[in-house]
Amino acid sequence: MTANPEILSTPSSQAAKTTQSEALFARAQAVTPGGVNSPVRAFRSVGGTPRFIARANGAILTDADGNDYIDHIGSWGPMILGHNLPAVREAVIEALAGGTSFGAPGEREVLLGEAVTRITGVDRVRFVNSGTEATMSALRLARGFTGRKYILKFRGNYHGHADGLLVEAGSGLMTDAVADGGQLNRQGLGQAAPSSAGVPEEYAALTLVSEYNDPAALDALMTARGHEIAAVIFEPVVGNAGVLIPTPEFLDALHRVQTAGVLLIADEVMTGFRLSLRGATGLLRLRPDLTCWGKIIGGGLPVGAYGGRAEVMNFVSPQGLVYQAGTLSGNPLAMAAGLAMLGALEADPGVYERLNTYTAQLAEGLKAGATAAGVPISVNQIGSMLTAFHSSAPHGSIRTYTDAARSDTAAFAGWFQGMLARGIYWAPSQFESIFVSAAHTDAHLNATLDAAAQAYAALTVRGEQ
């Protein structure tokens, strides 16, 4: 079946309920580039008007028109226990009574630092305000510690929007390329071209690129240039080209870089505390020198962190010569939210098994619905992360950026609109993970799978016209 690139029309009963979102989007476009504050929210690759959300609770989003949606994004990961978690809300309210920002140390920073180091096993941690801050700070630290200037990243891995990291950078940029009718970058391994205007080629030249899940390519690059490389940064499980799961051979190759004096940096901004209490590092038995976190340790508030062994972290100012600062780092509201979230996760040791079971059931149901409708999909799932690629590749065989980029984005767009019209809020890009929360129930699962089956069937009908 070849999908018609025309996106499915939203049923009139639903279209009549988007008046407020449409009005807000029009106003937003007059004051904000593209009408959104983060590109993927604009629905460019799937069409239609983005829904403006008024409130969220548990697994449900409610938009400005009063429509309810079963949410499978969870604010892109942090809502692992559901939206508006009472423990987090109450902790933030309590902290708010004492002030919003001090620009000076507070006890909550110490408490959350103790929790993160105890749970993850790192010696030291430094809090920042976003995942981008965490990764850019970790890379500066790696350069300062090693005295080398090059870094190596993997095609389709996204590590934030710092200049040196916007090279072959994954989801949002892949989505924009497709929406613009452009071709995805096809530079050879080791070469680096900026993925964004405004990034000087001189910056990009300091970033080497290899293919995720290609151990031979990584070994070859390390043989040729390992002595120049300060760090290899990677997503342990990729969520920003769709979910890509590392092979054991690739994980072995990653650890081999350390023999050349290269620091291994695990970007767990998305996977940290989501795939297990110790994140992907614990699940996959990784041994990174530095780790970056975000999302969940903010409990829904802006936060990021990076940490590692004391020998490396002691190079950070004011103890060392690698400068990094931030007035809002360690913000009392974010620290309170993080403490409440980690406390809730530690208090429920069975939560990860339940999340995995639920998401596996979701994966199997999507496969069944697509198969019944004759729609080719390929599902990758690990823990509570999942991507259903519109691809004829066998399930689980999409392992690289190149594999993912072959997906039928027009088919995905039609299916996405079919889901949205049926009250399911899915990631508005083929190249993203969705996230399941502990607030999702069997009723939510059944409703999602019913909607998915109907959307697949409607897509088949559209494709046959």
CA distance linking residue 150 with residue 261, whole number of Å: 13
Task: Name the amino acid, one letter, at 159.
Answer: H
pLDDT in tens, 418-441: 999 999 999 999 999 999 999 999
Per-residue pLDDT, 201: 81
Given this model, what pLDDT does residue 170 score? 53
Q: Say how far apart CA 182 and CA 175 lie, in whole Å.
A: 10
Q: Among all residues, which ones are annotated catalytic?
A: 158, 267, 295
Q: What pLDDT is attached to residue 213?
A: 97
> What pLDDT is stored for residue 165 in this prediction?
78
Cβ–Cβ contacts within 10 Å for residue 107, how many?
Answer: 9
Report the chain's mean pLDDT, rounded to a whole number. Answer: 90
Averaged pLDDT, 446-460? 96
Q: Taking a C-beta distance cutoff of 8 angstroms, is the pair 115, 306 a contact?
A: no
Q: What does the pLDDT look like over 321-337, one tens digit per residue?
A: 999 999 999 999 999 99
Residues 6+ positions from 93 with CB-CB distance below 8 Å:
none
Average pLDDT over residues 38-54: 92
Query: Does 55 score more than 90 pLDDT?
Result: yes
124-136 pLDDT tens trace = 999 999 999 999 9
Beta pairing class for 53-57 and 60-63: antiparallel
* Confidence label for 172 from pLDDT (cuts 50, 70 and 90): very low
pLDDT tens for each residue of 251-309: 999 999 999 999 999 999 999 999 999 999 999 999 999 999 999 999 999 999 999 99
- Residue 194 confidence (pLDDT): 72
- Do 335 and 127 form a contact (C-beta atoms < 8 A)? yes
Is the pLDDT at 161 greater than 90? The verdict is no
* Omega before residue 318 within 30° of 0, cis: yes
**pTM for this prediction:** 0.91
pLDDT of res. 93: 98
**With 90 as the cut, is the pLDDT of residue 373 above it?**
yes
Percent of the chain with pLDDT over 90: 83
Number of C-beta neighbours around residue 93 at 10 A: 11
The tens digit of pLDDT for each residue in 338-359 reads: 999 999 999 998 999 999 999 9
Query: What is 408-453 written as a DSSP string?
Result: -HHHHHHHHHHHHHTTEE--SSTTS-EE--TT--HHHHHHHHHHHH
pLDDT attached to residue 16: 45
